[in-house]
A and B are shown apart, each in its own frame.
Chain A
Amino acid sequence: MERGFLNNRETILSFIKRAISESEELQTMVVPFSRGDILFKQGDSLKYLYLLLKGSVGLNRRNEDGYSLDLLKLEPGHFVGIMAFSTGKDSLTTGKALEDSEALKISQTELETYLNDHPRLRHPLQQLMMSNMADRFMKNLQLESKMHQLNEKLEEEGEQLKEAYKQLEESHQKLVHQEKMATLGELVAGFAHEVNNPASALLRSSESLITNFEKLSDNDSLSGMFTIGLKSAPMSSVDIRERMISAQKRFPWVSERSLIRKIAQMPDSAHVLIESTRKKVPIEKMVQQFEAGKFIHNIQVASERIANLVKSLKSYSRQDNNEAELIDVRNGINDTILVLSNRLKYLDVHLELLDIPKTKGHLGELNQVWTNIIVNACDVLPNGGMLVIKTKAEGEHKIIIEISDNGPGIPEELIDRIFEPNFTTKNQGAKFGLGLGLAISNEIVRQHGGFIRASNKKEGGAKFEIILPVKLT
């Protein structure tokens, strides 16, 4: 290009400066600015275009949200207000002198005049404008790519944040759960203490009652009936009905139905005793003795049940101290089953707890794992469903606990998600927080150095395998 020599902005500027010094008319158009002077404001429509000769001007834009942003710093050789001037639209920015500066202030008409009357100037000015435009475009491109970089970085940080949040959530859930279990543990400890007192009073009193009774009855056949009653477990109603028919045949002289029912619940030895003393002792008295024995027996059985329940509840929900202890996992499984006996009542539960080595760990925490898995099984199993729990050792260093059922199994599309936090197929919070989720179970097992594997059995039903390493230290 023949005019290539004008490409350089500075060259053009010096050319223009020379032109100014040669023209008095132009010199009148040079305006000085002190630092902080405003050339034009955002929103003004510009009548003048400034060619910066000396110093610098900043372009600043205030966004609608009130945030003010410095966009560009213009240096000598740059036009100020060129966008608004050339498009005729309101200025998008505010121009402000950043230091004491000088600029050639050109009005619309003047510019056209100059361009027409001074061909010498016309070309450099056009060149300068082009260069200004090119500058701005370059800047735009740079900005664009910078923005892209920033976005990428932002995304990366977002991912990291998500991960951190997930971890936080997990540990929060675990903390809540631990807190719950701790509260439960405290409650149970207090409750157990309170219940153990009346339960032991019941047990002791019934024992004393037995000795008293035995001393009270001076008649051998009466105390015999009492002893038989003491050993008689209650009968199923089917048995009672059957035996009532035969008892009525054996004792045709008894007409009261309630008496026959009681006689039916006696073992044959008591029948023999009644027959042998028929003439001497009224049958009502014999039956009363038997009943007394039977009810004391019932008290004993019931209070023993209370005591056992309290014991396993205590050990089930006990507070682990932070130190891992040498534990037998099977004890925990047995406690768990007792505590859940109400829910397991009508399931067919098979235990195959083979010998396994002791390992260092937290029994209470592991109990949560068994509980979660068993409760989940209970939720899907119908009455009479089967639950199998097995333990076995693999070599000296591995314990495998397998809990399986014959329920509907885990839907294949969900099987990969069940250990995710917050995964649930039922309304959360509907049940007291024993089944707080497999995620916690997973976490607990992981902290013990093991892992959980869930699968569906070929013959139907879900299977959970927990593999724990044997740790002795």
Chain B
Amino acid sequence: MDHQIYILVIEDELEVMDALVKDLEEFEQKFPVESANNAEEAEQVVQGIANSGDEVGLILCDHVLPGKNGVDFLISMESNQLFTDSRKVLVTGQAGLEDTIEAINKAHLDHYIAKPWKKEGFQKVVVDQLTSFVIKKGYNPLEFMSVLNSIRLAEALRGSQLTDH
């Protein structure tokens, strides 16, 4: 890989952010984690990532945030062509049905994680989403097999006309 694929976490409660980042630690050797406490900060972070030629593979976003809420942030990410492919996940205990429907329809929400989350289920979602991202982007699956879903990556590899040389 000639560039980084970031995981972006947006959460305003610092203790909760701590716990989220801790559960993402295992991915950090392949996917550096960036964090933001509100949507405005996240927009700056995302811009910085884009400016250095890197990508955001996965956005994990709380809904109730000071200022712009999580769903609105995800919608703005969806409409930015740099981040349309970024996988978008809502991590919240507070989004109502309407917000969630809006997120699914307008931000193409890929997954919803309800708080409180469990590490195993949380990490499975992260693995699945990042795997989808890597496959969609057509990156070399071999680089990610040891961290992500190796079966799905092998399946992608099978369809990609690999050859001997």
Q: Which residues in A have some Cβ–Cβ distance to B below 8 Å?
A: 233-238, 240-241, 256-258, 261, 291, 294-295, 298, 301-302, 345-346, 383-384
Contact = CB atoms under 8 A, between A and B. Distances in A.
Given A238-B41, A346-B66, A233 B14 contact: yes
Nearest to A299: B15
Contacts of B14: 233-236
25 contacts: A234-B14, A236-B14, A237-B34, A237-B35, A237-B41, A237-B45, A238-B41, A241-B45, A256-B28, A257-B28, A257-B32, A258-B25, A258-B33, A261-B21, A261-B33, A294-B18, A295-B18, A298-B15, A298-B18, A302-B15, A345-B64, A346-B66, A346-B67, A383-B66, A384-B67
A234 B15 contact: yes
Interface string B4-21: 000000000011011101
> How many B residues touch the partner, as a band?
20 to 34
Contacts of A302: 15
6 tightest A-B contacts by CB? Answer: A234-B14, A237-B35, A258-B28, A298-B15, A346-B66, A258-B25
B134 interface: no
A117 to B, nearest CB: 97
Interface in B114-135: none
A426 to B, nearest CB: 15
Contact of B35 (A240, A346, A384): A240
Nearest to B35: A237
B10 to A, nearest CB: 9
Given A236-B14, A238-B41, A258-B25, 6 more contacts: A234-B15, A237-B45, A261-B21, A294-B18, A295-B22, A302-B15
A237 B32 contact: no
Contacts of B29: 256
B91 interface: no
Contacts of A384: 67
B33 A234 contact: no
B46 interface: no
A234 B32 contact: no
B149 interface: no
Nearest to B10: A237
B99 to A, nearest CB: 14
Contacts of A295: 18, 22
B76 interface: no
Nearest to A294: B18
A246 B17 CA distance: 21
A374 to B, nearest CB: 18
Nearest to B38: A237
Contact of B19 (A233, A256, A257, A298): A298
Contact of A234 (B17, B28, B41, B45): B17
A301 B25 contact: no
Contacts of A257: 28, 32-33
A257 B6 CA distance: 12
Contacts of B104: none
Given A237-B41, A258-B25, A383 B18 contact: no
- Most A CB within 10 A of own CB, among B14, B19, B32: B14
A256 B64 CA distance: 32
A88 to B, nearest CB: 75
A140 to B, nearest CB: 67
B11 to A, nearest CB: 9
Interface string B132-144: 0000000000000
A234 B37 CA distance: 12
A233 B17 CA distance: 12
B7 to A, nearest CB: 11
Nearest to A238: B41
Nearest to B66: A346
B36 interface: yes
A237 B18 CA distance: 10
A295 B15 CA distance: 9
